[in-house]
Chain A
Amino acid sequence: MSTPTPVASPAPASMPAHSGLFRSSRNRGLLLGGLIVLGVIFLFGGDGWVSVLNFTMVMAIAALGLNVLSGYAGQISLGIAFFMGVGAYTAGWLGGGKPLFPGDPSGLGLSFLIWLPASGIAAALIGALIGPTALRLKGFYLAIVTLALIFIGQYLFINLQSITGGTQGRYNFPTPGFGDFTFASPVPILGLEFTTNQWFFLLLLPLLALAALFVGNVARTRTGRAWQAVRDNEVAASIMGVNLFEAKMGAFILSSFLAGIAGALYASLTGIATPTTWNLLLSIQLIAAILIGGVASVWGSILGAAFVFAVPVALNTFSLLPQSASSTGVSGGDLSAIFYGLLIIVFLLFEPAGLVGLIRRLRTASQRFDARRKGGETAAAMASSEHETPLEVERMDLARQTGVSQLPDQ
């Protein structure tokens, strides 16, 4: 009777509009441009390029997952590849059909709408199981324990033959589909005739967008702020009332979930996974992706994945290597490994915010330049005084994101 009626609290009018993913007109322009490029590749680029894009988008989802844990929450993890493996085998087991050949593990043949979420959930559950042990540790210790996870994963994937196929690997992975229609053997629908890769593209692009929006938004909630507080200073965060265990576990579980989904999609895309698919190198590549792209940044995850995964595949697939290099047996993979090994070091030294930070820096520089060119001295002075504050805010923002208190002067 006397239950107090909840009062809808009006949003405080003075709150500044947050810089959402697609809020500013410039970001929207960039996004539109990006979508047009993707559309052109999708329609006219040929199957090879579309498959490179697909592969990149899957890795971008995994990179987003890693960025949640390592970028936003600051917990170093080398174990992301393990969770991708868990997701992949869950998808294979739940969604796979009859064995393709004797010795290949069979699957339950469930629908795409079940195996895809289930692969994420399975990885998240395993994450929730491991989390309490792993997250007791910090910094270097956590890195080493998650490294152990990779090796324990390899052992499990080799020995659980009925699910993983042992060392030969598993070939029986499902492809997404609806009813009788699957991506593996596409038939024209409503007059649209696409290849397998093109169908995958149409599925992966919205999935990646969803994951990106989700991570970007969670990072701005109370939970996301708590992650960042934990990253910046654990002791201070806990004094401010952040539940350390809860915050770290949340990040660990969300990260595992995204990794699981990415693993399932990866296996579905390639149709094979051996235990060595989920090795330390994959984890390191993903770490390189978020470092080069931008730590604690959604766009950074995507750009970084494109850089680390699309460039070498493109080099290999389309043999863009110079003749002299390819004749001495240097593969595109080797070349790009040297490249990203160097870039990790260079970015960490000079631009800890990654490609995203670089773009941001160029943008503010161009704004300054514009302002100076436009007006006379008064206008320039006004413009600079207008720009100084947001710039300072941005620099503080950058410092917060990277955990670096002193950024080099621009």
Chain B
Amino acid sequence: MTTFIQLIFSGLALGCGYALIALGFTIIYKASEVINFAQGEFLLVGTFIVAVAMFSWRVGFILALLIGIAATAVIGVVFERIVLQRMIGRPPFTIIMVTIGLDVLLLTVVTILVGGTPPAAPAPFDSLNAITVGEVKFGLNAIASMIVTALVCAALYAFLRFTRYGLAMRATAIDQEAALAMGINIRTVYALAWGIAGAIATIGGVFLSASSNNALFDVGLGQSALAAFPAIILGGLDSILGAVVGGITIGLVYMLTQGYESSGFLGTNFHLIAPYLVMIVVLLIRPYGLFGKRKVERI
């Protein structure tokens, strides 16, 4: 039972990390129907900048996090402005590929900058700090990740619900042309979506890397963020609630299979593919995800 509670707790913490990453995908998709395959490397870049700020420039965690958030938000907006604005109307293939190009670029730049000496992984608390109840350890980093996810979700909800730009984003998501006709500046909405996605990526990256308990910054972080894909598929690409539910589900599936696979016959590393298997099953039953809407096709 102790193991089970421990695994559920870790699964929730990990799931919150995935939920944040999934939110980044969803916001961009909702606004502009683009899936950003470089989201994983946004995470990597953001986390790297936070690490450098914390350990080389010696600034506090909160300030470092803000610097990282600003940096990835800027990267997102700049990429959208310079590249994606020119790609509006191109087929999905082309757009996926252009984000993959960005992915390769960012990954390589970070790999070169890190070189052979990775900095420590940035985290708000020491990874050993935990509240112990009975035999279950509730890590402070994990608790922080849950609180931050809840805060980000609340902020996002408030933004979309109560602000002018949030309203514009929702309108654009529902019907681009109608939004244009109402005088909404779609370019601003796109840029805003990419900026928000970039900012959320850094938060997600820092807490994902903190909850994985790695002592060192890991260049594979962007790859592990790919596990958020099952989360968005599970929830449906265009649903914010779906992103959160999907992320937490995938986190739980991942942790539970990892915890129990050693006793089973499933071989090593089954937990790495369990989220994908869940995703494939969901796709077979509901090709547009649990919360997604089916699209009507026009010629």
Contacts and interface: CB of A to CB of B under 8 A. Distances in A.
Contact of B102 (A136, A144, A159, A345): A345
Contact of A145 (B98, B101, B269, B283): B283
Nearest to B37: A143
Q: Chain B interface secondary structure, helix, strand, loop or mixed?
A: helix
Contacts of A287: 97, 100
Interface stretch (A50-58, A148-156, A252-260): A148-156
Interface stretch (A30-38, A172-180, A197-205, A336-344): A336-344
A284 B237 CA distance: 23
B54 to A, nearest CB: 23
A385 to B, nearest CB: 33
A76 B100 contact: no
A21 interface: no
B118 to A, nearest CB: 13
B108 A341 contact: yes
A356 interface: no
Contact of B93 (A154, A239, A403): A403
Nearest to A234: B297
Nearest to B93: A76
Nearest to B232: A144
Interface size class of B (residues with CB under 8 A): 35 or more
B272 to A, nearest CB: 6
A329 B108 contact: no
Interface string A186-219: 0000000000000000000000000000000000
Given A145-B283, A151-B276, A330 B98 contact: no
Contacts of B128: none
B233 A345 contact: no
Q: Which of A287, A288, A330, A344 has the most CB of B within 10 A?
A: A344
Interface residues of A, number: 47
Interface in B94-131: 94, 96-98, 100-105, 107-109, 111-112, 115-116
A155 B108 contact: no
Contact of B280 (A70, A76, A148, A154): A148
A334 interface: yes
B1 interface: no
B174 to A, nearest CB: 19
B87 interface: yes
Contacts of A348: 87, 90, 94, 97-98, 101
Given A140-B92, A145-B280, A349-B83, A155 B97 contact: no
Contact of B273 (A74, A145, A151): A151
A381 interface: no
A328 B112 CA distance: 9
A233 interface: yes
Given A76-B93, A340-B104, A348-B98, A155 B270 contact: yes
A349 B287 CA distance: 31
A236 B299 contact: yes
Given A140-B92, A143-B35, A338 B105 contact: yes
Interface in A361-400: none
Interface stretch (B61-69, B165-173, B184-192, B223-231): B223-231
B292 to A, nearest CB: 10
B87 A337 contact: no
Contacts of B91: 74, 403-404
A328 B87 CA distance: 36
A194 B92 CA distance: 48
Contacts of B111: 334
B250 to A, nearest CB: 12
A133 interface: yes
A235 interface: yes
A144 B229 contact: yes
A139 interface: yes
B43 to A, nearest CB: 16
A121 interface: no
Q: Which of B91, B104, B111 has the most CB of A within 10 A?
A: B104
B285 to A, nearest CB: 11
B279 interface: yes
A313 interface: no
Nearest to A136: B287
Q: Which of B87, B105, B287 has the most CB of A within 10 A?
A: B105
A128 interface: no
B132 interface: no
B273 to A, nearest CB: 5
Contacts of B116: 329
Contacts of B101: 288, 291, 340-345, 348
A233 B287 CA distance: 20
A66 B102 CA distance: 21
Interface of B: 35, 37, 83, 86-87, 90-94, 96-98, 100-105, 107-109, 111-112, 115-116, 223, 226, 229-230, 233, 237, 267-270, 272-273, 276-277, 279-280, 283-284, 287, 297-299
Shortest beta-carbon contacts, A-B, top 6? A344-B101, A341-B105, A341-B104, A159-B267, A148-B276, A139-B92
19 contacts: A74-B93, A76-B92, A76-B96, A139-B92, A139-B93, A154-B272, A155-B269, A235-B297, A235-B299, A239-B299, A284-B104, A288-B100, A337-B104, A342-B101, A342-B105, A348-B90, A349-B83, A403-B90, A404-B90
